[in-house]
Amino acid sequence: MTETNRNRLMLLIALVMAAIYLFPLYWMYITALKSGSEMFATPPTFWPSVPQWSTYAFVWESRGMGRYLWNSLVIASGAVVLITVLGVGCAYVLARYRNGWVDVGLFLILMLQVLPASLMITPIFVGFSQLGMLDYPRLAVIIAIAAKSMPFFVVLVRATFMAVPMELEEAALVDGNSRVGAFFHIVLPLARNGILVSAILIFMQAFGEFVYSKSIIQDIELQPASVGLNSFMGPNTNEWNNIMAYATIYVTPILAIFVLLQRRIVSGLTSGAIK
Amino acid sequence: MADAPSSISSRKGVPAAQAPGNPVRDVRGPIKRLYSSVRDGRGFDIVLVAFPLGFLFLMAGLPLLYNVLMSFQEVDMFSLGTLMRPFVGLKNYRDLFAQPETLPILANTAIFVAGSIAGQFLIGFGLALFFWVNFPGASWLRGLFLVSWVMPGLVVGAIWNWILSGDFGVLNFVLREGGVISGNIFWRSDPNYSLYAVILANIWLGTAFNMILLSVGLSAIPADLYEAAELDGANAWQRFWTITLPMMRSTIGAIIALGLIFTLQQFDLFAAITSGGPNNSSNVTQYWAWEQSFRQYDFAKGATISVLMIIFVMIASVVYVRSTRHEVRG
């Protein structure tokens, strides 16, 4: 078998495997386009006979998705801003020094990264209710998400800073820059891409966050899309085409960002989590 | 004003006239020195690190301690607003283990963790080995698998909820057509299957992440090892057992520990697929703890379960940190 034929065969197998793996995603898009009766047909149809494009508009209106997505956006953006402002400097210092203190700090940060949100929500909720934070539920969720996701961000961004040659910064210091100046004019611009990718990853996580929002935000006006999807799925629901339309509207922007930036996201992710 | 410099340096015990080296420092006031350290010295690093660590301590460290405190207290809706509630010693822990559902839920957690990790790891490793054979488009296609990981957990849960539906689910259809089953399996409502329904969804969710990390480990193995083994006449099977697996040992350890950590964080799939039911048959500790706090409003019990689980998670994370330590240090 020639090299080209082997490559073609491998590509074919890879495509088949990807198709099997991504079938749930396909099923979501297809179900959303089916009519109420076609959805329950036996055997199921794998291509909608008459695509029901109006389902999207119907679900958007009837479930108030604009409001849900806006809340998701507010929460995710707030969390990303808070995490970036606090986390970048921390990652920089942890990348720049190698000593016992840095090891201790890194260890603590890694430990915080592993605490499950569904277990931490009990003390966070009780503590927030004592502080009166529950009157500002979206802010409370932003803070909780920031505490949960910042360790991950710090680990990822630290890997980026480690790739910035320290000589460049030292040269800037010799040229008369202050530490602040060298940090903002030399180091940050060089690490910009890595920070951006990490921030996007955090954004995607926060955009789908569920536990904290579900527990803290009681007011339906302030709930994000994940909580909205959860309340849409009652125990005996049969509106699966509508639910899948909801899921499609919710997830497609995230998937679009991911496919566009796939290569950067994957390499950023692997550099931080494990080497 | 004129004797300000000398007063500072004499406070430090160094006569002004003999101050060696850097006389500039002595002229500045303490505020100014602090400012210049923040702008151009060690203080800059300390400020950068102090705020995030302080924030993390307030928002993650303190809740952790508070959790332990609450697990020794009696907490109800009336005492929610106070810090010093009546202490009950180990009563919460004793009550927890006296409950009939505790042991089955712990067993479910073990099955969920073991099943999810085994599935994610084996499928992920298989895929990683396949994509390791380099062909055009391999890395792009491999990355595409990660969509399962970036999707919100609730959406993944909703999709699988529909796929696993008893009468109209497409999985039952495929299994029927393939001759695997004769009657429909009611994945979500049959207590014998409900836990496995969530495991199935979780394997799908985590496989891609396992594969990507394993791919990174594979690509770090030096190629000349394989060339040498091939010259010595080792076949592919032998090469896998004698080179690939031993070289991947620390990666595999780290990935399994990470898998344990992520599996114990899995909450959204339970909320979206079975809600822990029917009759706790698919309930696991991390969902149960939340249920106790936010469905039964028994915050003390929720805290008690949390404390036990967090200790367990921390042990897992120590394993993870140890197996990646040399990389973490760079």
The one-letter amino acid code at A272 reads G
Give the H/E segment covering residue B130. Answer: helix B102-132
Rg (C-alpha) for chain B, rounded Å, is 29
Structure tokens at A120: 């931490």
Distances A19 to A12, B145, B209 between C-alpha atoms, Å: 11, 10, 17
Are B53 and B153 in a shared domain?
A: no
Give domain status of residue B14, yes or no: no
Cross-chain residue pair A226–B62, CB shorter than 8 Å: no
Contact B60 A229 (CB under 8 A): no
pLDDT digits (tens, 9 = 90+) for A40-96: 887 888 888 888 898 899 999 988 899 999 999 999 999 999 999 999 999 998 888
Question: A-chain residues within 8 Å CB-CB of B145?
Answer: 18, 21-22
The residue in chain A having the minimum alpha-carbon distance to the alpha carbon of residue B291 is A118
Which of these three, B6, B39, B71, is where a domain ends? B71
Q: Report which of B52, B321, B263, B64 is spatially closest to residue A146, judged by C-alpha positions.
A: B52
Please indicate, yes or no, if residue B317 is contained in any of the structural domains.
Answer: yes
On whether residue B203 sits in a domain, the answer given is: yes
- Does any CB of chain A come closer than 8 Å to the CB of residue B150? yes
Nearest CB partner across the interface for B265, out of A112, A116, A265: A116
Q: What is the mean pLDDT of residues B284-308?
A: 90
ipTM metric: 0.90
Q: Is B172 on the interface with A (CB under 8 A)?
A: no
Tell whether B13 is covered by a domain.
no
Predicted pLDDT at B15: 43
Give me the long-range contacts of A255-260 (CB less than 8 A, separation at least 24).
A255/A25, A255/B147, A255/B150, A255/B151, A257/A200, A257/A204, A258/A204, A258/B146, A258/B147, A258/B150, A259/B144, A259/B147
Q: Give pLDDT, residue A243.
A: 93
pLDDT confidence bin for B5, thresholds 50/70/90? very low
Query: Any chain A CB within 8 A of the CB of B260?
Result: no
Residues B324 and B198 in one domain: yes
Q: Is residue B115 part of a domain?
A: yes
Candidates B129, B124, B160; CA nearest to B255 is B124
User: Measuring CA to CA, which residue among A106, A105, A119 is closest to residue A148?
Assistant: A119
Write out the two tokens for B147. Answer: 């969509």
Alpha carbons A89 and A266: distance in angstroms, whole number: 23
Asked if residues A151 and B57 have their Cβ atoms less than 8 Å apart, the reply is: no
Comparing CA positions, the residue from A117, A193, A218, A194 lying closest to residue B267 is A117
Across the interface, of A124, A207, A211, the residue whose CB is closest to B63 is A124
Q: Based on the domain organization, do B101 and B243 belong to the same domain?
A: yes
Are B126 and B160 contained in the same domain? Answer: yes
Q: What domains are defined for chain A?
A: 3-52 (no CATH), 63-239+266-273 (1.10.3720.10)
Tell me if chain A has a CB within 8 Å of the CB of B324. yes
- The answer on pLDDT for B12 being more than 70 is no
Tell which wins on pLDDT, B3 or A7.
Answer: A7
B54 shares contact with chain A (CB less than 8 Å): no
DSSP A127-179: HHHHHTGGGSHHHHHHHHHHHHHHHHHHHHHHHHHHTS-HHHHHHHHHTT--H
The answer to whether B240 faces chain A, any CB pair under 8 Å, is no
Rounded Cα–Cα distance for residues B2 and B30 (Å): 16
In a domain? residue B5: no
CATH number for position B318: 1.10.3720.10
Cα A114 versus chain centre, distance: 16
Alpha-carbon gap, residue B66 to B57, rounded angstroms: 12
* B119 touching chain A per CB within 8 A: no
B84 in any annotated domain: no
Peptide bond preceding B30 in cis form (omega within 30 of 0): no
Residue B73 is classified by DSSP as B
Predicted confidence at residue B111, as pLDDT, reads 95
What is residue A104's three-state secondary structure?
helix
pLDDT tier at A1 (50, 70, 90 boundaries)?
low
**Res. A112 pLDDT band, cuts 50 70 90:** confident
Distance from CA of B17 to the nearest CA of A (A): 29
Q: Is the preceding omega at residue A151 within 30 degrees of 0, hence cis?
A: no
Chain B positions touching A31 (Cβ under 8 A) are 162
pLDDT score for B16: 42
Within-domain flag for B87: no
User: Which of B159, B188, B190, B185 shows the shortest CA–CA distance to B174?
Assistant: B185
Q: Would you say residue B2 has pLDDT above 60? A: no
Q: Residues B312, B163: one domain?
A: yes
- Test B147 with A144 for CB contact under 8 angstroms: no
The percentage of chain B sitting over the pLDDT mark of 70, rounded to a whole number, equals 89
- Angle of helix B285-294 versus helix A117-131 axis, rounded to 10: 20
Number of domain units in chain B = 2
How confident is residue B19, by pLDDT bands cut at 50, 70 and 90?
very low
B71 contacts in A (CB within 8 Å)? none
Quote the Cα angle for B72-B74-B76, to 5°: 140
Residue of A nearest to B289 (CA): A119
Instruction: Give the residue numbers spanning the domain of B306.
Output: 92-329
Please tell me whether residues B173 and B288 are part of one structural domain.
yes
Q: Do B40 and A14 touch (CB under 8 A)?
A: no
pLDDT at residue number A73: 95
Domain co-membership, B187 together with B299: yes
- CB contact B183 to A (< 8 Å): no
Which range has highest mean pLDDT (B79-88, B137-146, B289-298)?
A: B289-298
Q: Do A274 and B162 touch (CB under 8 A)?
A: no
The pLDDT score that the predictor gives to residue A33 is 92
* Residue B118 and residue B26 share a domain: no
- Residue A172: what residue type? A
pLDDT digits (tens, 9 = 90+) for A219-270: 989 999 999 999 988 777 788 999 999 999 999 999 998 888 888 888 777 6
How far off is chain A from B91, nearest CA to CA, in Å? 19
Q: Which of B213, B246, B49, B272 is nearest to A266 (CA)?
A: B213
B135: phi then psi, degrees, rounded to nearest 5: -140, 160
How confident is residue B30, by pLDDT bands cut at 50, 70 and 90?
confident
Distance CA B148, CA B204 (A): 7
Residue B120 has a pLDDT of 94
Same domain, B49 and B151: no
- Which range, B8-17, B240-249, B316-325, has the best average confidence (pLDDT)? B240-249
Q: Are residues B67 and B138 in the same domain?
A: no
**CA neighbor of A213 nearest in space, from A118, A84, A129, A147:** A118
Indicate if the pLDDT at residue B21 is higher than 80: no
Nearest CB neighbour to A126, from listed B64, B299, B320: B299
Residue B73: strand pairing partners: B87
Chain B residues whose CB is inside 8 A of the A43 CB are 173, 177
Looking at residue B283, its pLDDT comes to: 92
Q: Please write the tens of the pLDDT for every residue from A159-210.
A: 888 888 888 888 888 888 888 888 888 888 888 888 998 999 899 999 999 9
Cβ within 8 Å, pair A27-B303: no
**End residue of a domain, out of B71, B106, B136:** B71
Closest CA to B54 of A255, A249, A146, A171: A146
Kindly tell me the burial class for residue A63, based on how many C-beta atoms sit within 10 Å of its own C-beta (0-12, 13-18, 19 or more).
buried
> Using 50, 70 and 90 to split pLDDT, how confident is the model at B3?
very low
Q: What is the pLDDT of residues B217-275, one digit of tens each?
A: 888 888 888 888 888 888 888 888 888 888 888 888 888 888 888 899 999 999 999 88
* pLDDT per position as a tens digit, B139-195: 888 888 888 888 999 999 999 999 998 888 889 999 988 888 888 888 888 899 999
Q: Which amino acid is at A256?
A: A
Is B150–A226 a contact, with Cβ atoms under 8 angstroms apart? no
CB-based contact, B257 to chain A, within 8 Å: no
Model pLDDT, residue A169: 85
What is the per-residue DSSP string for B135-200?
-TTHHHHHHHTTHHHHS-HHHHHHHHHHHT-TTT-HHHHHHHHTTS-SS---TTT-TTTHHHHHHH
Q: Note the pLDDT of residue B324.
A: 65
User: Do B187 and B58 have their domain in common?
Assistant: no
Give the gap in angstroms from C-alpha A33 to the nearest C-alpha of chain B.
Answer: 14
Selected for mutation to probe chain A from B64, B149, B159 (highest A CB count within 10 Å) is: B159
Residues B208 and B254 in one domain: yes
Give the pLDDT mean for A132-150.
92
